[in-house]
Each structure stands twice: as C-alpha cells, then as structure tokens.
C-alpha cells in the first residue's frame, strides 16, 4: 500500500482557491454586464470590487501555498508545542512564586 504524497493536499487547496477566484471574477463580469442597463456606472464599480477581491484571493492562495509547501511537515506543530510548553512553565513559575 502506497502512502499519499503530503504535497498534494496543499496543491489541491491552492487549486480550489484559484477556481474560487476565477468564479468570483466571472460572476463580477457577468453581474456588470447584466446590471449595467439598470445601475449604470454603479454596476461597473461593483464589478471592479469583485475583480479586486478575485485578485486578492488569487494572490493570497498562491502565497499560502508557497508558505505551506516550503515548510517541512511537523514544524508548525512542533513550534506550537514548544510555545505551549513555555507558556505552561511560565504560568507554573508565576503560580509557585506567589
């Protein structure tokens, strides 16, 4: 039995965020086209906000993927464990000193 590649899950998540960003951009463009006769320039402004949100999602998803992909497995968990242990020891010292 083969083990799944740990690098595939972050890649699938990044692709899902890209699909979401593309969907938001497409929805903003369609909304501008449909609503322009009714709302005029306001429809274009709303589409621009949707497009900016789509670009933001794309950039955020790409940065997050690179950040997760660079980090070796278990580093975040080990870092959290060290911080939690240090906080526990600090609290124990605080209580014992009183």
Distance separating alpha carbons of residues 49 and 31, to the nearest angstrom: 12
pLDDT of residue 81: 83
One DSSP character per residue, 7-46 reads: THHHHHHHHHHHHHHHHHHHHHHHHHHHHHHHHTHHHHHH
- Residues 17, 60: contact at Cβ < 8 Å? yes
In which band, very low, low, confident or very high, does the pLDDT at 5 lie, cut at 50, 70 and 90? low
Distance separating alpha carbons of residues 20 and 55, to the nearest angstrom: 11
pTM of the model: 0.62
Could you report the per-residue pLDDT of 58-91, keeping only the tens digit for each? 998 888 888 877 766 566 677 778 888 888 888 8
Between residues 7 and 19, which one has the greater pLDDT?
19
């Amino acid at each position: 039995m083969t083990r799944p590649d740990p690098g595939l899950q972050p890649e699938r998540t990044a692709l899902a965020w890209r699909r979401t960003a593309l969907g938001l951009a497409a929805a903003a463009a369609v909304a501008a086209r449909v609503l322009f006769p009714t709302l005029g320039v306001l429809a274009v402004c709303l589409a621009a906000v949707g497009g900016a949100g789509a670009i933001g999602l794309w950039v955020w998803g790409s940065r997050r993927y690179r950040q997760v992909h660079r980090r070796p497995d278990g580093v975040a968990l080990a870092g959290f464990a060290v911080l939690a242990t240090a906080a526990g020891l600090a609290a124990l010292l605080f209580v014992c000193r009183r």
